[in-house]
Structure 1
Amino acid sequence: MAKKADLLEKAAELKLEVSDKNTIAEIEAAIAAVDAPVEVEEKATAKAGKRSEKALAEAEAKAEKEARKESGDTSAQSDEAENRKKGPKPVVRPLIERRGKNYQKVAKQVEANKVYALADALALAAKTNPSKFDASVEVHVRLGVDPRQADQNVRATVSLPNGTGKKIRVAVFAPEGDHAAAKKAGADVVGDESFIKQLEKEDINFDILIATPQYMPKLGKYARLLGPRGLMPNPKSGTVATDVAKAVTESKAGKVEYRVDKQAIVHLSIGKVSFGAAKLLENARAFFDSLQAQKPTSLKGSYVKSTNISTTQGPGIKVENVIS
């Protein structure tokens, strides 16, 4: 019994729940279980994927974060811990500092809070062109319409008296009897069945597509090809016409389409910097006259919210409203 007494004494030191009712074998087994070294199973890791060291570390960190949340520990982690997990916050520079040196230089000529007269804005736009190429001069008009309403979805065409300065390639899809007149008017691509074969190959080598009314049903199959590119002929834009020669002449002479986008803004290029202020002013006035004529009768608030002019890569210039 001396052996059992010694074992019970050792078990008491180890705070084991045994008594003299247990057998010597049971007491020895309990003591042996405590004395045995604990083996820690190493987690198998992979070079990549969910079992990689990085993924396992992230999973442990996430579990630790969730455990802190459940226990109500909302204390912020130290800066060192945050930086170790997420890295330092990037320094965001002002937009103008992220532009090129040429842009920053010319932008200083534009007074940020000043609203310029139309003629002055056009002259300033030409001066503040940061590009070495002959950039386009663009007008951006924010309207007070709701483009989701069918009667406020502004869309029209305008013939710019001095053209756009861009070389426009015009395609005509019409019966063979109209081909000669279309070519004489300056059409770059003319065809009927041959044009369909071109569309089958998704060969788009034109900027404007003109079609006769009777040929429009044949283009329905290619709506997904032409529509997203803005090339689907439309009566409102004058590209569905019985007189294809006239439509080609107008397109080549500077007839352009404009429409309000989802943000209720109309964008239009009215020429090149090389046009000079006088020609740009003529084109701008033609556009604003056309836009004025498109004012929806159902509109209750202001038609024009704001107007800006800029070159392709130049700074925006605020312009006083010329449309009531």
Structure 2
Amino acid sequence: MSIGTVSHVLNGNTKARISKVTQDRIRSAAKELGYRPNQLARSLWRGKTDTIGLLISGFRNPFFVDVVESAESAVLACGYRVQSASAPSAHGTFRAHADVFNWPVDGVIMWADAGQTLATYMGPRAAQTPVVYIGSIRTDDTDWIGFDSYGGGRLLTEHLVAKGYRKIAYAYPADWQPGHEDVRFLAFRDVCSEAGITPRTLLTANRDETCSAGLDLGLAIARMRPSDRPDAVFCHNDTIAMGVYSGLRRAGLRVPDDVAVAGCDGIEFAQCLEAPLTTIRIPGEKIAEQAMHVLNTRLKSEAKPAQRVQTILPTELWVGGTT
């Protein structure tokens, strides 16, 4: 039996004309010997690794854990392996990572802000790597699956206005600059303006988008004079909102009677509060599934796509007990 015949069978080459009896003998012998293919050699020979890279920022936010789990399930369902890497936030300091993945990948699903690209983290290799961006609505010639953050921001702010709140503040991490890239804040500002309300902003004491940062902010809000204190706080995400809620409660204030609190993401943990959190639900699972469908289509086709896939998924207002 030739080396070539064994190689064809173990590498799954269905084009080679090898009898079923011979194939069974080879596989049986490989099993007895404990043979495991050398993935590096196989990848070099085939020119692909059957591995998809997931590049996600903000693993400290539980929302992204859910996104990664959904993306991994979608990748595995398509027959690929998964390699995950963490990308520093665009709002912090970072350097280019030419080798962000420890193993070559055939394609990448990347959660990115509108100004981020794969080249930031993979350098020149990004030009030869198919990528589907998820999260933000982009204007460049790329494939992306985004969500309606502006629409969600409007829904939540309109809900607060309809409930009668007039001293509404938007809470965000200290190193963020609410502006043209933060469409959620723009929605908040626009609705406040339409309602004749002066929009306020609050900053956490540090850069973190965490529950502890929100806790400190909640305690700081509680220390304000009642005349200066907001009557509702729209937090940039659920983790900050959970912290603000806890800080207010710890200081003896009632939520929502004294101060209402709302967030954005729709994480499961936020529904475990004594008063479930009012939030904007982002369809993370659908985003991940659609992104992998697009990427798989790109990998199966050698031709350059005639048209990019650019999809905006709706968000949903979920009203809990904190507003």
For this structure pair, what is the TM-score category when the shorter chain's length is used for normalisation?
A: under 0.3
Q: If you compute each CA radius of gyration, which structure gives the higher value, 1 or 2?
A: 1
TM-score normalized by the length of structure 2: 0.23
Higher RCO (CA-CA < 8 Å; seq separation 6+): 1
